[in-house]
């Protein structure tokens, strides 16, 4: 099973940023409202992710790092309606197979904290007592220490950090109700408090992306037939310089989708006669039955049940909002 884990790890664990993504998603699934990330050498040397979520009981620490162990779905019906970010039960096993992983946790219901250590092939699954407040800390050291070929594929510290930065931005933009902290080599990169209202959300966006976006953006808020669209679309003056700043969330998950980008681009071009890709941070909320988000574990894909309707909705409301500010 260890070998299988290493092979599967290639799919989920491509680089430090993929570890951050999986582990933070686990924290969010566990209901955390505060997530602290400490990394060294762009995560290759160390990644420590601490949350205040519901924790893992002592008897299930082992299970959490074994393959195909998930607490999030119990049967096939659940698979149809899965709301959690993870559900395959392979992330921690995959990470453990290519690093030294220390998992420490304390559920509220348990008096003491416990930890389990796994080192690549050698799974020393001895449970040790530990000190930890309610919640979970996952510490990943020496990523790919036992898979030199994969380690060689890692890029410079700067590049790997940029990947983490991007993953962090997506996660932090996806949940304004959670506070996020990122430190790199002891230096605070982001310290984001919970953003309760639009002003605080805009402050978070300014910290993560750019102050200029908000001064050059149209605020969108549409609520129509059970679908809601909220967010910011950058005007051409801003978009020209920041073409890649495109964040679209469907029910809290970042998504890259042709239907979406086409609708946005078309509305933009129609109203502002501007052929370039606009910048945006947009949130679409709809009945989960209307969208299938489990197309692929790592790609950010969705499948809308009614693509044309979603396209029409986006086009219509963006068109309206942009037209109201047309110069
Ligand atoms: P998945 O998220 O697909 O279930 P993972 O390998 O990512 O699989 O995690 C395995 C299991 O470990 C989860 O189902 C969950 O029960 C537990 N777990 C992992 N991280 C946390 C965390 N931060 N807080 C609470 N439970 C966690
Ligand atoms: Mg997971």
Residues with CB under 5 A from ligand 2 (ion): 26, 86, 91
Residue 144 forms part of a structural domain:
yes
How many structural domains compose the chain? Answer: 2
CA nearest ligand 1 atom 19, residue: 26
Whether 170 is covered by a domain: the verdict is yes
Q: Is residue 143 part of a domain?
A: yes
pLDDT higher than threshold 80 for residue 133: yes
Ligand nearest 50 Cα, by number? 1
User: For residue 185, what is the domain's CATH number?
Assistant: 3.30.565.10
Model pLDDT, residue 2: 59
* Whether residues 26 and 110 fall in one domain: yes
The C-alpha atoms of residue 203 and residue 53 are separated, in whole angstroms, by 25
For residue 94, give the ligand nearest its CA. 1
Q: Given this model, what pLDDT does residue 5 score?
A: 62
Question: Is 276 found in the same domain as 216?
Answer: yes
Mean pLDDT across the stretch 200-205?
96
Domain boundary among 192, 225, 245: 192
Residue 265 resides in a domain: yes
pLDDT tens digits along 147-188: 998 899 999 999 999 999 999 999 999 999 999 999 999 999
The pLDDT value recorded for residue 180 is: 98
Give the number of the atom of ligand 1 that is nearest the alpha carbon of residue 93.
Answer: 6
Whether 135 and 35 map to the same domain: the answer is yes
Asked if the model's pLDDT at residue 115 lies above 70, the reply is yes
Residues 151 and 259 in one domain: no
More confident residue, 276 or 160: 160
Closest approach atom of ligand 1 to CA 51: 23
**Atom 1 of ligand 1, nearest CA residue:** 89
Domain match, 185 and 234 both = no
Residue 200 located in a structural domain: no
204 belongs to a structural domain:
no
The residue-averaged pLDDT of 227-248 equals: 86
The answer to whether the CB of 261 falls within 8 A of the CB of 306 is no
Closest listed residue to residue 24, CA positions, set 114, 84, 112: 84
In a domain, 199, yes or no: no
Q: Which atom of ligand 1 is nearest to the CA of 25?
A: 2
Q: Does residue 89 have a pLDDT over 80? A: no
Distance CA 197, CA 37 (A): 24
- Of residues 210 and 237, the one with the higher pLDDT is 210
Q: Is the pLDDT of residue 79 over 60?
A: no
User: Are residues 251 and 163 located together in one domain of the fold?
Assistant: no
Average pLDDT value over all residues in the chain: 88
Please tell me the pTM assigned to this model: 0.92
CB 125 near ligand 1, within 6 Å:
no
Domain containing 228 equals 210-323
Nearest residue to 21 (alpha-carbon basis) of 165, 193, 179, 195: 165
The per-residue pLDDT for 12 is 72
């Amino acid at each position: 099973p260890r070998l299988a884990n290493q092979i599967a790890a290639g799919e989920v664990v491509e680089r430090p940023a993929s570890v951050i993504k999986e582990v933070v998603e686990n924290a969010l699934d566990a209901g955390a409202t505060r997530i602290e990330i400490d990394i060294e050498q762009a995560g290759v040397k160390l990644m420590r992710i601490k949350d205040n979520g519901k924790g893992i009981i002592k008897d299930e620490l082992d299970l959490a790092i074994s393959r195909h162990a998930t607490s999030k779905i119990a049967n096939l019906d659940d698979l149809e309606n899965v709301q959690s970010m993870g559900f395959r039960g392979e992330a921690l096993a995959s990470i453990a197979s290519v690093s030294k992983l220390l998992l420490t946790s304390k559920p509220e219901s348990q008096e003491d904290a416990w930890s389990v250590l796994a080192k690549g092939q050698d799974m020393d699954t001895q449970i040790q007592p530990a000190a930890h407040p309610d919640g979970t800390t996952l510490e990943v050291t020496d990523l790919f220490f036992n898979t030199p070929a994969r380690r060689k594929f890692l890029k410079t510290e700067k590049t790997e950090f940029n990947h983490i930065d991007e993953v962090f931005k997506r996660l932090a933009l996806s949940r304004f109700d959670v506070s996020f902290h990122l430190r790199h080599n002891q230096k605070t990169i982001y310290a984001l408090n919970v953003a309760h209202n639009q002003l605080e959300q805009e402050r978070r966006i300014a910290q993560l992306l750019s102050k200029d976006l908000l001064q050059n953006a149209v605020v969108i808020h549409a609520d129509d037939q059970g679908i809601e669209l909220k967010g910011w679309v950058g005007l051409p003056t801003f978009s020209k310089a920041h073409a890649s700043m495109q964040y679209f969330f469907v029910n809290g998950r970042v998504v890259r989708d042709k239907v979406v980008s086409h609708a946005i681009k078309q509305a933009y071009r129609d109203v502002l006669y501007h052929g370039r890709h606009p910048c945006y941070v947009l949130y679409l909320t709809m009945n989960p039955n209307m969208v299938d988000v489990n197309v692929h574990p790592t790609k950010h894909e969705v499948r809308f049940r009614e693509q044309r309707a979603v396209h029409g909705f986006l086009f219509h409301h963006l068109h309206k909002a942009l037209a109201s500010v047309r110069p």
